[in-house]
């Protein structure tokens, strides 16, 4: 399909939370959602950077309805505080987008390996705390969109060393966290279906998009060589961030987007192009791994979901 941002339906009256909304895929998704009338709550680690991004959007879209809120996915305290500030605010869509990629090993405020903690556990906790805000059993359809990566295909969930304390490779840790994103999205969909909920859980990936995400690892390692190499690769191979945001926007707004699906760019090597439904890795469909990861994630974060054990299947 040749779906673009021009195909976004009217979003007037919809309230959407976007994590990591101040840059990259999150910024471009926020821009297009606001352009089409949505109220967007920009959940950002830095309020200052969030306000700068909001001002940039408003310069382009003067009537954009934006609200910047602090939410550090690397801190359960910050996530709880964000959810508390929202209170019983009605929500229509949550876009779990914020993330870090291939950084040197570090830990979150709660002692989790940073990539697993931010990319997966933070979003697991946030989704659980906000789930009832989406009125998942009402007639109006709500959506939880979780942004993964094609790199999830090399990922494995190492329950014996989930926090990579025994050995650490930045790309292996990133791949594990991105596989966890897909496993979570599918498991959430199964539980929603089992509960006869109208809410949908959808996984997406942006392909290879030109964002600042690729530079975080080289910058934290202090490697000018790798930073230059990333700049060259982004310049030559990557598609613009606005294109990378299309699978996210499709999953969040397209009436035909399906729960339990995985959407990404349909062009060369699934790295660029307009969105299409795709199959994720074989490991991502392992229901035993997904259920175990769910239980571990709940134990680690202390967040539980008012959803039954899954009976419904999610297929490729």
Q: Which residues are catalytic?
A: 174
How far apart CA 35 and CA 56 sit, in angstroms, is 13
CA separation, residue 8 to residues 249, 282, 316 (Å): 8, 31, 25
Q: Are the beta carbons of 181 and 123 closer than 8 angstroms?
A: yes
How far apart CA 89 and CA 104 sit, in angstroms, is 37
Q: Are the beta carbons of 146 and 203 closer than 8 angstroms?
A: yes
Length of the chain: 316
């Amino acid at each position: 399909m040749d779906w673009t941002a021009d195909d976004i339906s009217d979003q007037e009256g919809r309230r959407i939370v976007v994590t990591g909304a101040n840059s990259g895929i999150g910024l471009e998704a926020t821009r297009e959602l606001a352009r089409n009338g949505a109220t967007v709550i920009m959940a950002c680690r830095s309020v200052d950077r969030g306000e700068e991004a909001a001002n940039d959007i408003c310069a382009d879209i003067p009537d954009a309805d934006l609200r910047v809120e602090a939410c550090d996915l690397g801190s359960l305290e910050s996530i709880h505080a964000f959810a508390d500030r929202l209170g019983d605010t009605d929500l229509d869509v949550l876009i779990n987008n914020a993330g870090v990629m291939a950084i040197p090993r570090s830990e979150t405020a709660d002692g989790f390996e940073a990539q697993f903690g931010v990319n997966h556990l933070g979003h697991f906790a946030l989704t659980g705390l906000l789930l009832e805000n989406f009125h998942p059993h009402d007639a109006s359809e709500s959506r939880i969109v979780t942004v993964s990566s094609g790199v999830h295909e090399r990922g494995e969930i190492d329950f014996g060393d989930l926090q990579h304390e025994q050995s650490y490779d930045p790309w292996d840790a990133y791949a594990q966290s991105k596989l966890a994103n897909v496993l979570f999205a599918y498991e959430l969909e199964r539980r929603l279906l089992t509960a006869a909920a109208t809410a949908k859980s959808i996984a997406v990936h942006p392909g290879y998009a030109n964002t600042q995400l690729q530079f975080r690892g080289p910058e934290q390692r202090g490697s000018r060589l790798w930073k230059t190499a990333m700049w060259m690769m982004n310049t030559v191979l990557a598609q613009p961030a606005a294109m990378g945001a299309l699978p996210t926007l499709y999953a969040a707004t397209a009436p035909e987007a399906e729960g339990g699906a995985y959407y990404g760019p349909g062009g060369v090597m699934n790295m660029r192009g307009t969105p299409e439904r795709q199959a994720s890795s074989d490991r991502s469909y392992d229901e035993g791994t997904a259920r175990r990861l769910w239980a571990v994630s709940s134990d680690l974060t202390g967040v539980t979901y008012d959803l039954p054990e899954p009976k419904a299947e999610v297929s490729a």
